Structure 1
């Protein structure tokens, strides 16, 4: 097991490229409900990035700009050079049930001169995006899916996130615990079994987990199970099937926990979201 594979297997990320070329006029991006993210990959040129708070950033080096939850932002290209960009949306189906989207900050920027692996991946995207080979569009979409995984690898490898799930996955002792929880949500986890995986006492493990992840181990386990439950409900699974997947004795037990956490029964939540 590795830190990302189980999450990405359960919760898909899908990139949909909607622009590639030279941007020569102001463009505004916004996802009011936060259900999709945005990623912009700058090949050349220069631009000014203005975020939802009005903060301005001048960007003139090849890089990737990542808005995991689609926060409002504007791109103003250089009036003389323009900006050669590949832009994509990132679909989560339901951002409230996607742990990666929830774990990332509002904005991240990676300059390729500091991230050689990202630079290699971006070169392939640029080759397809600014070329005319057969199968160009599906190739770009798939390459952007791969690129997002590469971004997440860099987040873990370089400790870009200091708090939350991804910080836990980057921690040498907590990573093993979280990876096992992610893979075995139906296991009857206890504080003792989690602490054993971290080779720590229960009290030290509980303190470290809370300080790093921001939740107690029990709270994290419940939230993880609820995220899996919501994801399964969105796929049309029955409440009894979902209960088995996430370690509850039956549908009634899941319904009680789900209603306490979400405020709706699993069935009501499912009907509400599948009817949208």
Structure 2
């Protein structure tokens, strides 16, 4: 089960070298022992504390309403001895920066994305007590249902269908989902569909096609749901994309 690919595909990520003052990810350590820990601020630049960071990166996620970014805490700190795969990628990035060999920019772009995927994997594996998508993906039972919603947003899902994906009874599934994510499964599904619909409209897709794609019975019903979520009619976004 791949808990990240659908999210990564919908929200393009770019990772670039940055000055510490504008970086969102800072890695620290010393020359002898290598990198020891990192600090990641998903939304805003991280003010670098002493000692000086060994590696400074800026992570940009394209697209608004990214549920994964919204689920991350304002500050993420990881001891890299607990995440050796992540440290290995960061060490490679640091080597490329220091050696400055030809083609480094292309290599850094790929390594930066690899580092972020490994950071997200680590955060999912260690779990969190904060309700949200990260907590849901950390629970293998809930993750199966969440990934099914991510991969097949246009399916007409019922609570029984989603509970079956998780291998739980509908009542237990609903209870656990609300506890871990802070909302009901149907509410999360609705929000995910509308997030994708917004992206499609900005790309120029027709309102009627988008409504059908995400299992709305009528364009009017889709328009009402979209207006409640975003405060504007879906056709206004499509006109802006034209």
TM-score by length of 1: 0.78
**Shift in Å at residue 239 of structure 1?**
2.1
Query: Which residue in 2 is equivalent to 1:165?
Result: 133
Secondary structure, aligned partner of 2:102: coil
**Shift in Å at residue 250 of structure 1?**
4.2
Q: Measured at CA, do residues 83 and 40 of structure 1 come closer, stay the same or move farther in structure 2, by a change above 3 Å? A: closer
| Aligned: 1:65 with 2:39 | yes
| Aligned: 1:13 with 2:16 | no
The 2-side partners of 1:141 and 1:170 are apart by 27
The 1-side partners of 2:6 and 2:152 are apart by 10
What per-residue deviation string (whole Å, max 9, x for no partner) do you get for residues 91-139 of structure 1?
22333x2111111111101121221111111111111111121111222
* Kept in 1: contact 2:14–2:113 (CA 8 A): yes
Secondary structure, aligned partner of 1:91: strand
Count residues in correspondence.
Answer: 240
- Structure with greater helix percent: 2
* Kept in 1: contact 2:206–2:238 (CA 8 A): no
Q: Measured at CA, do residues 124 and 44 of structure 1 come closer, stay the same or move farther in structure 2, by a change above 3 Å? A: same
Which structure ranks higher in relative contact order (CA pairs < 8 Å, sequence separation ≥ 6)?
1
What per-residue deviation string (whole Å, max 9, x for no partner) do you get for residues 207-249 of structure 1?
1110111001111111111111122233333323322332223
| Aligned: 1:84 with 2:54 | yes
Query: Which residue in 2 is equivalent to 1:48?
Result: none
Q: 5+ residue gaps in structure 1?
A: 20-26, 30-36, 46-59
**Shift in Å at residue 76 of structure 1?**
4.5
The 2-side partners of 1:271 and 1:43 are apart by 50
Q: Measured at CA, do residues 233 and 93 of structure 1 come closer, stay the same or move farther in structure 2, by a change above 3 Å? A: farther
Q: Measured at CA, do residues 44 and 229 of structure 1 come closer, stay the same or move farther in structure 2, by a change above 3 Å? A: farther
Query: Which residue in 2 is equivalent to 1:50?
Result: none
The 2-side partners of 1:168 and 1:83 are apart by 32
The 1-side partners of 2:115 and 2:238 are apart by 31
- Structure with greater strand percent: 1
What RMSD, in angstroms, separates the aligned Cα atoms of the two structures? 2.4
| Aligned: 1:229 with 2:217 | no
The 1-side partners of 2:70 and 2:172 are apart by 26
